[in-house]
Chains A and B, each alone.
Chain A
Amino acid sequence: MINLLLDILTTAGILFIVSIGLLIVFGVQKIINFAHGAFLTIGGYVALLVTGAHFSPWLAPPVALLAGALIGAIVERVIVRPLYNRPLDAILATWGLSIVVVQLITIGFGRGVQFVTSPVSGAIHVFGADYSLYRLIFLGIAIVLGLAVGLLLRSTRLGLVARAVILNENLARSLGIDSDLVRFMTFVVGAGLASLAGALLTPLLSVDPTMGVTWLLNAFMLVMVSGTSLISLMLACVVLGGAQVVISTFGNPVLGGLTIVVLAAILLRLRPTGFARA
């Protein structure tokens, strides 16, 4: 029972870290970054490179964050900016980008599945159960990250400006806010967070050129049902992630893998605002 509960919480934490970058970009840019999965894959391969060069595995996530942000900055300027007024085309172009990234990684690293060394291993004893230490650390990182982003949005000038652009871009511009810069910054942060998520995931999962795609779909659905609210995203991760864990444990793992996308698709049909307040 404790194990199941911890599974639900840590799964929610993983989903949250994977989705938060996408949520931030969607909130400000009003476009879905379909290259989110590609940035996640990049993060995974950065971790592979860092550990392959015998640096500490702890170094992988920050390096991935930087690499993702840097690539994100270039992508924003070259591909995303010209498509501000064509959101559907932005989906296609970022989707095309993810194809290119997958091909580049395939050329560079091969098609095969590879493994990254974990910074910690083994289980610890919590609440009368043995549980993977890394998953618990992951949960901790998710909570810290959620609080940090929430605090940034709520309590800083930068957050105020970003929220102003989210709610009414024209008004924000007339008040002297450079919304293009805000869009740029959010895309960079979103891409960086996606890569960070990819690097953090590597000790749990293998790395391969298409690892981002399944995550992209889950993240995408979670963002669709959350609107632009961090709290809603947390709720969606716990509820849908929980359903996934329950169905995988007691039902069929194949069905379990589809839980989030299918439940979210049905939820959106019945209640287009999803978990966001109407």
Chain B
Amino acid sequence: MSDIALEIDRLTSGYGQSMVLRDVSLKIQSGQVLAIVGKNGMGKTTLLKTIMGFLPAQSGRICMFGADVTGVQPHRLAGRGVAYSPQDQAIFPDFTVDENLRLGLSNDRGYERALDRVAVFFPFLAQRRGQRAGTLSGGEQKMLLVARALMSRPRLLLIDEITEGLQPSVVQRLIGVLRAELAAFDLSVLLIEQNVGFALSIADRYAVLARGEVVAAGRVDAPGVAGVIQNHLAV
């Protein structure tokens, strides 16, 4: 068993002939959180889509838990313990809260138990199981999204811009939830963020993506990290 949750080796990817990512290499140790920061249009979402298998890698390799998953179909990754929380259209607004959460598991066995577990963090979910997800508030929808990702106790969690448009109180709550889950079981997280405050508060390492390349990376507890990131984002 490898202790590296995710390893990306010189990945190049994009749409058609235009390459959005160039030679990106990243590594996440098991149990750790890597935050990728960068402004919009720098290739962050493209990176996640390529990892998830929605976009083909032009070159390079993606490994999860020691196994090469380059080119593996998206739906097969869930079976390997990967949960993905996309940025847009991440829930089924026409489905009930219950139906959305059920889709977080590969079958209905153990649903109640998993629901009880995530409802500790988000009690409103257990109380409003029959409500249509589209009628939840923006913050509640994000919490539903995180809850669904945690239903299956994933080994690797890929989160795309979860804090976008969220109130600070909700962001704080999500920080608490992720910290609790990280402490409770063997979870590794790849976090795509514009919100540097949120990213730095739970990540172990960071990487800055600019124009499809990693321009800076390191530990978040190194001195002056905030300034380094600031500089890269301001360019």
- Interface positions of A (Cβ within 8 A of B): 157, 160-161, 163-164, 167-168, 170-179
Contact = CB atoms under 8 A, between A and B. Distances in A.
A176 B79 contact: yes
A178 B104 CA distance: 14
Contact of A174 (B84, B106, B107): B84
B78 A164 contact: no
B229 interface: no
Interface of B: 52, 54, 73-79, 84, 86, 89-92, 94-95, 99, 102-104, 106-108, 148
A179 B75 contact: yes
Given A164-B92, A179-B75, A174 B86 contact: yes
A252 B90 CA distance: 53
Nearest to A156: B108
A173 B84 CA distance: 10
A257 B191 CA distance: 60
A171 B108 contact: no
13 contacts: A157-B107, A164-B103, A170-B54, A171-B90, A173-B54, A174-B52, A174-B77, A176-B75, A176-B77, A176-B78, A177-B103, A178-B73, A178-B75
A260 to B, nearest CB: 29
A172 B95 CA distance: 13
Most buried by A among B75, B92, B94: B75
A163 B100 CA distance: 11
B78 A175 contact: yes
Nearest to A161: B103
A174 to B, nearest CB: 5
B78 A168 contact: no
A175 B104 contact: yes
A194 to B, nearest CB: 28
Nearest to A182: B75
A172 B102 CA distance: 12
B90 A167 contact: no
Contacts of B75: 172-179
B86 A176 contact: no
Nearest to B54: A170
B94 A167 contact: yes
A176 B151 CA distance: 13
Contacts of B148: 175
Contact of B86 (A160, A167, A171, A178): A171
A167 B92 CA distance: 7
A176 B77 CA distance: 7
Contacts of B103: 160-161, 164, 172, 175, 177
Contacts of B76: 176
A168 B108 CA distance: 20
Contacts of B89: 168, 171
A174 B95 CA distance: 17
A167 B108 CA distance: 20
B99 A174 contact: no
